[in-house]
A and B are shown apart, each in its own frame.
Chain A
């Protein structure tokens, strides 16, 4: 049982390039999330998808777009990468968001923007 799988694990981009981060979960969870983690800042929510077909902004959505492709997959897109988007990106899922259920995380994508 793989849980939450993120690809790629590492990526280096130049300023202005675009990229899509992929996430898939095999736990039949309804809700999925994208976070970024920066030193000293903890985890900050970028976007989330409460259920298939819905997406909503989190705390830091500017510069990002998301797509909930199906129940399993939730992608994060950077249309024009900026150095401030250098971070570690984590995808998470939960059985039913909005209720008291834990989120389960992937191992992250380490993204550097030059």
Chain B
């Protein structure tokens, strides 16, 4: 089965609110994680990554949190905008050039 999965398949959020997307992973040896955004008809777009020696990393309007104790990853989007509507995937580096992807969370932003 998949080693990376997302807690919820869908998330509806009011424009301007903060979004939190969760991801659980099962491989405690994984040392690198990535969040991708995929818009309809497009390929996955890199958002932010984090290495296992960190527990938090911030980008522009996004923050990734890593909790290695419970093998949990989250993506926080500040002040969610309509353009943030997409499917979000977390990916886990399994080594040997392989990433494991979850099935994704569909985020819908309400105006």
Contacts and interface: CB of A to CB of B under 8 A. Distances in A.
Contacts, number: 52
Interface stretch (B60-68, B76-84, B95-103): B95-103
Contacts of B44: 43, 90, 105
Given A56-B97, A100-B51, A100-B93, A107 B43 contact: yes
Interface size of A as a range: 20 to 34
B43 A90 contact: yes
B97 A48 contact: yes
Given A40-B103, A42-B2, A45-B98, A100 B32 contact: yes
Interface in A74-114: 90, 92, 97-98, 100, 102-108
A46 B3 CA distance: 17
A11 B98 CA distance: 27
B34 interface: yes
Interface centre among A4, A41, A42, by most B CB within 10 Å?
A: A42
Interface residues of B, number: 24
A31 B45 CA distance: 17
B93 to A, nearest CB: 6
Interface centre among A43, A90, A108, by most B CB within 10 Å?
A: A43
B43 A31 contact: no
A103 B103 contact: no
A5 to B, nearest CB: 11
Contacts of B101: 42-43
A59 B97 CA distance: 12
A87 to B, nearest CB: 14
A64 B102 CA distance: 23
Interface of B: 2, 31-32, 34, 36, 41-46, 49, 51, 89, 93, 95-99, 101-104
